[in-house]
Structure 1
Amino acid sequence: MAYDSAATRAKLLVAAIEEFSTYGFAGARIDRIAESADANKRSIYVYYTNKELLFAAALHKVISELNDAVPLTEDDLPGYAGRMFDYLTQHPAALRMHLWRQLERPELGPDAADVYSEKMARMTAGPAAGHLPSTDLLVLITGLTQSWVLAPRDLLTAADGDDPYRPQRLAEHRAVIVEAARRLCAPAP
């Protein structure tokens, strides 16, 4: 059977995302990534040059997949908030990779400044234009979408002691997030 370099490269990237999202850049180990991908350690250096570029590639993949799955819809920010919440609860590695990036390597990954600038300009001119500056509005909505995943588990279970990730509870929290985003987008009274 012929060696499939594209498949090896893809398996390495999947293993890297799991490793980096679990341990961060500093804690991640190339040996574990290679073992998890059932690949030779040397192949990581052949395809990605070094650990930092592998981390950058993993970030790019995670962020690109998130942006493709949940495009920022400036004319429906409450819907965007709900879809982002769904994605983050279904793909926890995406948020963990983003957090590790912020903590350890903020300069790595795709530069989305142009994308955000374009979206915020449309928010200012479109139906999402409310009483809050577009940057602040987007930051607040982003925080809402991440709130459940980032909140201490003790806080999430304090009300009823039950699993905060059971489908019914996630649906309830999603509805709260969408309503909060709707209120944030509403024109000033």
Structure 2
Amino acid sequence: MARSAQSGNCGTHRQCAVSRERKPLDELLRFAVDPDGRAVPDLKARLPGRGVWLTCARDVVEKAAKGGVFDKGFRHPVKTAESLADTVESLLKRDALQRLSLANKAGLVVCGFDKVAKVLRNDGAAILLHAADASPDGCAKLDRLARSGAGGTRPAAAVLCNFNAEQMSLALGRPNVVHAALKQGGPRGKFLDAVARLERFRAGGAVYAAA
């Protein structure tokens, strides 16, 4: 029985090559070696060959890139770009925005101040999205509606400010998006998972807890 439990744990946990701690896969990032001999992020953990796992945190990736961790993990010298942590963050951000786009195609995203306000008042929106460069005044007004929880009949909406207006506009295929509401539905969970991963990477462990 003990061997069976250990085997199951092996399938869902890996050891961070920097901290040497065993962690769940959703708290880690996998890296592989590309045909040019470079260490590259493998966010979906699908690339062939030996992999090196790191805690999903910018400071951990930066330490690994500078400290020869990849050479040791892959058991041979590999090229490691100084900008590796920036590359990881860019890929995590792109993944989250792609999932937001899928939620939009599923009809779960509402844009524009007035439409978002209506959803917050009446339709029980689960997530409120502000562009990082949105007007503080507009954000404050919608935040108050989010905190009110549709007159106290539901929990307050969560608020995310992870992307700027240009990024949100491209993801949603609409111009000048600064506020949006993400309603409940299938693709919502995948988007929140991707945002949590991005926030974990940026903050070194602070995770957005999706409802």
Fold similarity call, TM over 0.5: no
TM-score (norm 2): 0.32
Q: More relative contact order in 1 or in 2 (CA 8 Å, sep 6+)?
A: 1
Bigger helix fraction: 1
TM-score (norm 1): 0.34
